Amino acid sequence: MSRATWWMHGMAAVSALLLLFPLLWMISTSLKTPEQVFGAGGSPIRRHG
């Protein structure tokens, strides 16, 4: 692999992480536990309230 290809992959990974990290953080803080998101069976907001 050339150095430019590694650089492009690195920048893509960093930009994806920078976009996803605040989103995941907001979701985890608003919904306290992951079980409420995946194991709710219905609306996690309705279950939370």
pTM: 0.41
Interacting residues of 31 by C-beta distance below 8 A, sequence separation 6+ = 37, 44, 48
pLDDT value for 41: 58
Compute the C-alpha angle 40/16/44, nearest 5°. Answer: 10
pLDDT tens for each residue of 1-49:
688 999 999 999 999 999 998 888 888 777 766 565 566 555 555 555 5
